Each structure stands twice: as C-alpha cells, then as structure tokens.
Structure 1
Amino acid sequence: MSDDEREEKELDLTSPDVVTKYKSAAEIVNKALQLIISECKPKVKVVEICEKGDSFIREQTGNMYKNVKKKIERGVAFPTCISINNTVCHFSPLASDETVLEEGDILKIDLACHIDGFIAAVAHTHVLQEGPVTGRAADVIAAANTAAEVALRLVRPGKKNKDVTDAIQKVAAAYDCKIVEGVLSHQMKQFVIDANKVVLSVSNPDTRVDDAEFEENEVYAIDIVASTGEGKPKLLDEKQTTIYKRAVDRSYHLKMKASRFIYSEITQNFPIMPFSARALEEKRARLGLVECMNHELLQPYPVLHEKAGDYVAHIKFTVLLMPNGSDRITTHSLQELQPTKTVDDPEIKAWLALGIKTKKKGGGKKKKGKKGAEGEAQAEPMDATNGASTQEQE
C-alpha cells in the first residue's frame, strides 16, 4: 500500500475494529512482558530471553485473524530489548553475544507488537533480586513510574506536549533524578510507530519539536527514561547497535552483492517496522548493513549508556485517547519500592489526583461504564511512591 493510499484510508479509534486490534495487540505484549520477566534469572543469556519474547509475539499474533479473506499483517513491532544497569536502551544482542544476567541487575525490558499495523508498545524496569527494591535504585524507578503516571493524566485532549515535558522533569527532580535526554514519546498510527506529534522528554536548545495539542481518538506511546546520573547518555560501541528501521523515503543502488541481498531481505520481511539484525544471516548482515547505513537506507536505534554506576529506569506505555477518557492498555505491576525520597510537591500531587476517565452522565449506565473502563488492571496503574492506585486519591 502506498503512503497516499494509507493516508486516504487512515483508520483511528472511531472504528471499534481498530480499538479491538489495539487491545488485542496490548494483551499479547503484556503477556510477552510477563513471560520475559519470568525468564530473567542470573546466568541466563540475554539473547535467549530476547528470542523467546519475539517468538512468543510471532506465535500469538500468528494465531489471530487466520480465517479472514484479507491478509492481515501482524507480529513484532519492536524487537525485545533487555538493557542492563547503566545501559539506557535498545540492547537486543546477536545470537553470538555471550552477555548474561547477574543477581542485582536493573533490567529495562522494551518491546512492541502489532496487529494490522496497530501497535502496542511497553517498557518495564525489573531488578533481579528478591524482596523490595531500596535506595537509589528505588528512587529512579519511582521517578520514572511517577512521571509516567503524571504523563498519563496530562496526555489528554486540550493539553499540549510542552505541558508533559515540563511536568515529567519536575517529577524526576523530586526524586533527585534526571529525565534522560533524547527520548521521545510519539503519537502512533496504523503502521507508523513514530508519527508526527511528539512529546520531548527534556527541553534544550539542541532538540526541538513542533508544539502540538493532544486530540480525541489519538494513540500515544509515552516513553519515560530516568537516571540517577546526568541524563545525557553516550554511544560507546557502534557494534552493539542491532535494531534498525528501513528509511522508506530513501533510495540508493547498492554496490556490494551482500548489501543488495540483505536489503532485499529487509524490504521483503521488514518493510516498515523496526527489526533486529538477529533475524538476518549474521555474517552477510555484518557486511551488508554497513553500506546500507552509509547511504542512510536504514535508521539505527543505537545502544546508549549512562556512566558506570548510574541507575537507569524505563517505563513506556500505550494510551488510547478515547471519548470517555484515557485508556492505558500496556502495563505491568512494579516490584515493591522503598525510595529514599517522597513527593511532597503540591503540584505533583494535584497532577496525580487527576482522573483518567471522563465521568458520564446518567444513573445506572454511569456505574456500568465506570466499572467497565476502570475495573481493568491495565487502566489503573500503581503509584510508585506508595503502592496504592493513584485513582483512589480522587
């Protein structure tokens, strides 16, 4: 389908079928996240867990819409990543990688799946230990999670992207942490994981995005990364980069046979969604990807790092801006946290006390609607600061 045709046929949340596909993708991605967490144990190879996550998504999505006449694309929308300790994001190693998990590691698990191009994305932070998470590790997870809770309440029709940027930085500061620069929250559309409307994590002169207002029936992946360090991650080793996305607006006649072979494979199997080089034949991919990158046929997702010893936490969720309020469809409960800081700022408390759902008029129907929307665990995430649902504060 051409971009013009897709634009012409663009579907949004006004279609019940679209909402169903988003929620079906979310159900799969939430289960995949649960599986991945259960597989995270000391001395287990990271690549093995990443492969299990991707395989689970392929298997589960493959079982859906099998009996419809029109072919429906479905599968991995972002490869499973497990970024450890001061590694910020995008670590999804090749089959030959020997990296293993260790007791006490802070893991950032990041993945997404899609059904018919409707994407559900999630990221979660998990510490490889028994018992509550304490100290600065608890601070940074609480900072990311509380910022995510605030963002959930501010990404609503009528609010601006700048409102969210300012708020999440204030939340992080309350925990003596920093929001990591360069992380963007994106609007998502059918087959588009990074649409035009963007929420900047950190305002600075080097990174600017257009002002935007949130509107009903839009979908967003809200992406929060917090750090106990400076929040200015660096690329340490280009060879760690394994995730790419085809730049559909670029063309170039590749010179090397290996490059043409790999690019043909990418075009056929991963025309739009990000993919892992692990899915390609490794030796040929090493050669071919270089020329593709040199001519900007691929967009890389680099593996970034804070300084050794810094703690990093990542929370990402998908939210549907429905007529009856915001519906957070991807999430996972946190471990028990015992942060060293508490949030006393009245403005942050006021943000957390905001409702997620729009209160409906009418007697009996109101109760039914509220239960249906708010009775789901996904719609009411936990507040990291006290372990209680922030909705209870209303």
Structure 2
Amino acid sequence: MSTANDSLPGAPASALEELTISNEASHDEEDQGGATLNATKKKKKKSKKSKKKAGAGASGQSSPPTIPVSQLFPNNSYPHGQLCDYVDDNNYRTTSEEMRAKDRLNEQQLTDLRRAAEVHREVRQYARQIIRPGMDLTTIAEMIENGTRALVEERGFEAGVGFPTGLSINHCAAHYTPNAGDHVVVQDDDVLKVDFGVHVNGHIVDSAFTLAWNDRYAPLLNAVREATNTGIREAGIDVRLGDIGAAIQEVMESYEIVLDGKTIPIKPIRNLCGHNIGPYLIHSGKSVPIVNNNDQTRMEEGELFAIETFGSTGSGYVQEEGVCSHYSKAFGDQVPLPRLQSAKKLLHSITKNFGTLPFCRRYLDRLGESHYYLGLKHLVDSGIVNPYPPLCDVKGSYTAQFEHTFILRPNVKEVLSRGEDY
C-alpha cells in the first residue's frame, strides 16, 4: 500500500519465467502476461547471480488456493525470504555471534512475517495465472482476499488481510479498490497494479506487482521492477533514506518507452514513496522516497520496511481523483468521539473488526453494515477516520508499481516477500 508524500520536491500467463534475484538486483527479462518483456534502456547494467533463492511456494497447494500454509509447513517451518548480507561498515554483523544471539530474540516476529509472506506468494502465484482481460475488478479483489483469508486462517486481530486489495489501472497509480456496484473490467491494453497485504499478529507483509498484456509496456514494467530491486539492494542499517531515493531515481530515469511512435522518458512518481511498517500500522513514521530529496533520516536495526516504486509516462506527480474506497481509523489517544449515533455505531464496528488496519466499503458491506454513508462521512469530517482516495497521474498516461517488504535483522537483511516471480 502506497504512501503519498507531498513533502518530496517538485515527492495471464500460466507460467512466468523465473526471475533470478540477487543482492545486486538482477534485471533479467521476465515473462509478464504471456509476452516476453524486452526493455528499451538508455544504459545497460550488469546483473549478478543470486546468493540465495527465496521461497517458491508450497507444493500440494490447491487451485484456487484454499489450504492453510500452516498445514503445508508444519511446526512453523515457513521458508525464509531472500537473505542479503550487510556490506561496508555493517559487514561484521554477518558473522558476529552477538548479532546472531540478538537476532534469535525476534524469532516469533520472524515466524509471523514468514507465514504472512508465504501466504502472499501462494495467493499471488494463483492470481498472476488467473487475472486476464475481461475480468471485473470486484471478482479479482475477492479472489485475492478470499484466498488470503483461507491460507492465513483469518482470526480477528491474530491473522487476516493486511489492507484492501489495490487494483489501479493505467493513469491511476494507487488506492483504487472496487466499491459495491463497481463494474470496471480489465481491458487488453490496460496496465494493472495489484497491491495487497497479509498480517499475522499485526505483522504486515506488503507487496505489489504490475500486469500488462501488451508488449509495448515492457520498458515501463522493467524500469519499475529494477528500481524497486535497487532500493532493496541499497537499503540497510544506518543508510540514509535520501540516498536510497537517489539510487532509485537514477535507475528509473535510465529507461524510456516508445508509445504511438513517441519516445517518452519514464519518470518516478515523486510524491509517492515506500514506508516502514509497525504492528497493525501499514505506515509507521518513516517514508522511503523514490527521488533524491536529501532526507538524512537513517534506517535502523530491527525496522520493517516496504520498498515500493512507481514509474509513469505522465507528469510523475499524482493527485487525489475519484470516489474514495480506502479508509483507516486514525492512530493515537487524542481521537475525538463522534456526535452522531450512526457514527458511534460504525466506529464501534470499525474498532472491533479492523482497529488501525485499513479497510474499504466492501469490508463494511461484508460485515452486514448498511446505511453507513452518513456515519462514515461524519467520522472522516471529524478526523476520526482517514480517507485515502485514488491517486492518479494525468489521464492518458500509464503507471506501474513493484513492491517488497524486508526486515533489517541484526545480522542480515531479509526480503520477506521475495519469490520466483519477482
């Protein structure tokens, strides 16, 4: 799930080629939507072999996925994500017994995160095979969310969906999920961003990918995928957030795309960014820019981050547009109480079922809530609930997104959501 940051300057294929991952962020070609993606690049970069392949999903999973991952991986033996050794001033951490002992203190958190990550991998593997032009967004969203609920064994605040499934098309970059009655259908020439999350005991894994069925969008998807891999590679303990943004921007802007005979530079969307993640908080304070904004804030040991990058053929700047579907209860002790009785009733339901996790109107409908629009508006107007409307670049442009979640363990960086697909 994306973060809009206005403080930044000027801020189905049935099989996919296995994407080889490395600490240096491989940028091999990948089968995406049934077509080989051949990137048009201004400058070439070398790729290196993987140090360790991430979890590839469990054998024995049903199609569609319905078997809980706890049954496929008994005794909490969930696959590790991609493990990346620290470098430079932090390379001592890799072999330090002190750091290894410190790492063992976080065993339960890591187990929860790996369980959530495995759910994400298995659900998205199925989704990437199934999603095709002609499908409506509501069907796609419910397929992903129902699969998540089944595989994570949804149980209140112990495990469940991390946030509403984002299904943003073309110039819409983020925060679009269908409301009731939405009949938007994916078209052959669409560029579709799929962004969903899974949580276990409030530990959220947030990961996103982009699908396109027309070869011409290959450079856009490759640019954003490589930019995300670059951000992950550059991230580490004590690394400045602005330096990560600068590296992402350099990679993104090294690409261009030819559309309708016109060569267009691919721009990072400067007011969208990655973010760190806290317990039951998808956005927890720090933002990871995707342009150079000279932010001197540093990443710290133990922090959980989502690196997500967005590329655009438009202006490289998004604004709120359209009907809102995403919401979350405001965090903090100073949240006022609503005056309207309908708002009080709705707030009780939101607090009971979602807490500070994001939700959408479809989730309220699923709970049996009705006639809640006035109450929801009152909660938003009172600052009790925060709205997150769709974020869009200029009409006629195309945007893409890739995202992974990683944790800065004391002795190694673990890219939890990494899989064979991306």
What TM-score comes out, normalization by structure 2 length? 0.68
Select 1:145's aligned residue among 206, 220, 225: 225
Flag structure 2 segments of 5+ consecutive residues without an equivalent.
Answer: 1-101, 256-264
**Is the partner of 2:414 in helix, strand or coil?**
strand
Higher helix share: 1
The aligned amino acid for 1:252 is P
Given that 2:103 and 2:411 are in contact with CA atoms closer than 8 Å, whether structure 1 keeps it comes out as no
Q: Report the counterpart of residue 262 of structure 1 in structure 2.
A: 346
User: Would you say 1:32 and 2:32 are equivalent positions?
Assistant: no
After superposition, give the CA deviation of every residue in 1:330-367 in whole Å (9 maximum; x if it has no partner). Answer: 14556xxxxxxxxxxxxxxxxxxxxxxxxxxxxxxxxx
Given that 2:220 and 2:311 are in contact with CA atoms closer than 8 Å, whether structure 1 keeps it comes out as yes
Select 2:362's aligned residue among 268, 278, 303: 278
Label 1:13 to 1:44 Cα distance change in 2 as closer, same or farther (>3 A): farther
List aligned pairs for 1:150-169, cutoff 5 A: 150-169=230-249
Q: Which has the higher contact order (CA 8 A, sep 6+)?
A: 2
* Per-residue deviation, 1:147: 0.8
**Is the partner of 1:170 in helix, strand or coil?**
helix
Select 1:202's aligned residue among 283, 291, 311: 291
Label 1:166 to 1:307 Cα distance change in 2 as closer, same or farther (>3 A): same
The aligned amino acid for 2:231 is A
Q: Report the counterpart of residue 276 of structure 2 in structure 1.
A: 187
| Aligned counterparts of 2:128 and 2:158: Cα–Cα separation in 1 | 27
User: Would you say 1:173 and 2:253 are equivalent positions?
Assistant: yes
Number of corresponding residues: 308
* Per-residue deviation, 1:102: 1.2
Q: Report the counterpart of residue 99 of structure 2 in structure 1.
A: none
* Per-residue deviation, 1:126: 0.7
Given that 1:12 and 1:189 are in contact with CA atoms closer than 8 Å, whether structure 2 keeps it comes out as no
Q: Report the counterpart of residue 211 of structure 1 in structure 2.
A: 296
Q: Report the counterpart of residue 76 of structure 1 in structure 2.
A: 161
Q: Report the counterpart of residue 417 of structure 2 in structure 1.
A: 330
| Aligned counterparts of 1:51 and 1:38: Cα–Cα separation in 2 | 15
Given that 2:103 and 2:409 are in contact with CA atoms closer than 8 Å, whether structure 1 keeps it comes out as no
Q: Report the counterpart of residue 16 of structure 1 in structure 2.
A: 107
Given that 2:180 and 2:361 are in contact with CA atoms closer than 8 Å, whether structure 1 keeps it comes out as no
List aligned pairs for 1:293-372, cutoff 5 A: 293-331=380-418
Label 1:14 to 1:231 Cα distance change in 2 as closer, same or farther (>3 A): farther
Flag structure 1 segments of 5+ consecutive residues without an equivalent.
Answer: 1-10, 335-380, 382-394
The share of aligned pairs that are identical, in percent, is 28
Structure 1 runs of 4+ off > 4 angstroms? Answer: none
What TM-score comes out, normalization by structure 1 length? 0.73
The aligned amino acid for 2:335 is S
Q: Report the counterpart of residue 351 of structure 1 in structure 2.
A: none
**Is the partner of 1:223 in helix, strand or coil?**
strand
User: Would you say 1:134 and 2:227 are equivalent positions?
Assistant: no
Label 1:91 to 1:22 Cα distance change in 2 as closer, same or farther (>3 A): same
User: Would you say 1:242 and 2:328 are equivalent positions?
Assistant: no
The aligned amino acid for 1:254 is P
* Per-residue deviation, 1:324: 4.3
**Is the partner of 2:372 in helix, strand or coil?**
helix
The aligned amino acid for 2:173 is V
* Per-residue deviation, 1:112: 0.5
Label 1:288 to 1:76 Cα distance change in 2 as closer, same or farther (>3 A): same
The aligned amino acid for 1:31 is E
| Aligned counterparts of 1:248 and 1:262: Cα–Cα separation in 2 | 17
Given that 1:29 and 1:112 are in contact with CA atoms closer than 8 Å, whether structure 2 keeps it comes out as yes
User: Would you say 1:123 and 2:203 are equivalent positions?
Assistant: no
| Aligned counterparts of 2:302 and 2:283: Cα–Cα separation in 1 | 16
CA RMSD after TM alignment: 2.3
